[in-house]
Chains A and B, each alone.
Chain A
């Protein structure tokens, strides 16, 4: 069973628009824009670059189609004082300020500031309110003081 992609409404619209743009691009490229194939494909760099671009385009299109098909829109919660999926959270950890967005696992990328709701920190923060302190203890103890929640 395919996992659901939790996306904000805005995020899903953005993906749909990108998908639309890529499909138009594919149509344009494969309609009459194909470089001439000379005697040997191996010698024709222009043709190879074209093929490479088309393949990458196809890949991206199929990924986006899969995302749209399995998307579940995250509704902005009524109570915006609590951390839920889609929240941009500002915390203080070890005396330093940090910021991240809580997302579903398939969109998670901590180095890009997106933390999964299934990670130990994501789990601990979910449902917490602004001003509260959340402790994540394993092996060392880290206290996350929630300074701000934005949707």
Chain B
């Protein structure tokens, strides 16, 4: 359990790393990698429902939770890094206005270097985890990196769609944010039909493109994802001073996965979904008419999925919802002990207990 605890301490660092792309573009108080991961996970889960009726939602949720873990040691890299290094920091603003254009050889060289660095970082980060879990995490990451299957390929598109949505949210707040370079990139990057549909509705929502009946459903989905952005800025009372709900939920889901490992008769996918909806009532119960409308008009199967998971979470009758409640208690204990700079005695006790009682 000590090894799992050490891993958790390291994973918490994702909340302290602001996404480099936003920092380079001069965004004030940019989101952390953990915040990005949280919304990406929800989007991947729900859009997987649209893609294949939630058949592989557990797989895409797990892929999402670990896809950026490597950045804890490797750092966040952007395609602009080599150009800024070459041209100097004072030209940064100018460089960020357009998408970097590189030779095929340069792209391939950067790609290889980044992948090697990230893979080594991830291996170092998870080196002390139990072997089966370590293999699982590494396999999910490699599937994502190499797009070994349809789900990992789909996820890699959704991961970037979340960033494109966030870019528009920053642009809406600050019109000097360079949005055109994002579109130069997006037009080369996206090919998955669901991602292409989301690109179209982004044009409707933010660039005055005319809407039609066909795009209504996807537009409602986009509006729902945008409404979740409040979780990236809203702080949780119990959590540490700086932490926002999105970051807390990220830790919670990751811990649910790790602690559920080896637990018998537990539907991990369901437990993960319950943890992702933690505090999401802040959005779902919003009195704002716009939010209510977009939730009500979500595609039927997605609305049904959200409602049924939420019901389980509230009724607290299933093994999964009770398990998540215990993990919330462990996470809160962990955060308190960390804040008070204490040894993690109580956290470890609770972790041992959950593992013992569920096997």
State which of B79, B104, B191 has its C-beta within 8 Å of the C-beta of A122.
Answer: B191
- Check A52–B135 contact: CB distance below 8 A: yes
**Main SS of chain A's interface residues?**
mixed
Determine whether A101 belongs to the interface, using a CB cutoff of 8 Å to chain B.
yes
Q: How large is the interface on B (under 10, 10 to 19, 20 to 34, 35 or more residues)?
A: 35 or more
Determine whether B131 belongs to the interface, using a CB cutoff of 8 Å to chain A.
yes
**Main SS of chain B's interface residues?**
helix
State which of A48, A100, A139 has its C-beta within 8 Å of the C-beta of B104.
Answer: A100
Contacts of B134 in A (CB 8 A): 52
Determine whether A108 belongs to the interface, using a CB cutoff of 8 Å to chain B.
yes
Q: Taking A101-B104, A110-B188, A138-B187 as contacts, is the C-beta distance between A59 and B131 under 8 angstroms?
A: no
Contacts of A111 in B (CB 8 A): 79, 107, 110-111, 114
Q: Taking A48-B131, A98-B101 as contacts, is the C-beta distance between A59 and B187 under 8 angstroms?
A: no
Please encode chain B, from 125 to 141, with 1 for each CB lying within 8 Å of some chain A CB and 0 for all others: 00000110011001100
Closest to A117 in B: B191
- Check B139–A56 contact: CB distance below 8 A: yes
Looking at the assembled complex, report how far the CB atom of A104 sits from the nearest CB atom of chain B, in whole angstroms. 9
Closest to B123 in A: A52
- Check A139–B179 contact: CB distance below 8 A: yes
Contacts of B142 in A (CB 8 A): 56, 59
Looking at the assembled complex, report how far the CB atom of B164 sits from the nearest CB atom of chain A, in whole angstroms. 12
Tell me which of B16-24, B146-154, B316-324, B338-346 binds A. B146-154
- Check A140–B104 contact: CB distance below 8 A: no
Determine whether A120 belongs to the interface, using a CB cutoff of 8 Å to chain B.
yes
Looking at the assembled complex, report how far the CB atom of A151 sits from the nearest CB atom of chain B, in whole angstroms. 14
Contacts of B185 in A (CB 8 A): 110
Determine whether B82 belongs to the interface, using a CB cutoff of 8 Å to chain A.
no
- Check B101–A113 contact: CB distance below 8 A: no
Which residues of B line the A interface, CB within 8 A? 79, 98-99, 101-104, 107-108, 110-111, 114, 130-131, 134-135, 138-139, 142-143, 146-150, 153, 179-180, 183-192, 196, 199, 203, 206-207
The 5 closest A-B pairs by CB, nearest first: A116-B191, A140-B180, A96-B101, A98-B101, A113-B107
Q: With A42-B131, A96-B98, A139-B183 given, can you name 14 additional A-B contacts, CB distance below 8 Å?
A: A41-B131, A88-B104, A94-B98, A94-B101, A94-B184, A96-B101, A98-B101, A99-B103, A116-B191, A119-B190, A120-B196, A121-B187, A142-B183, A142-B184
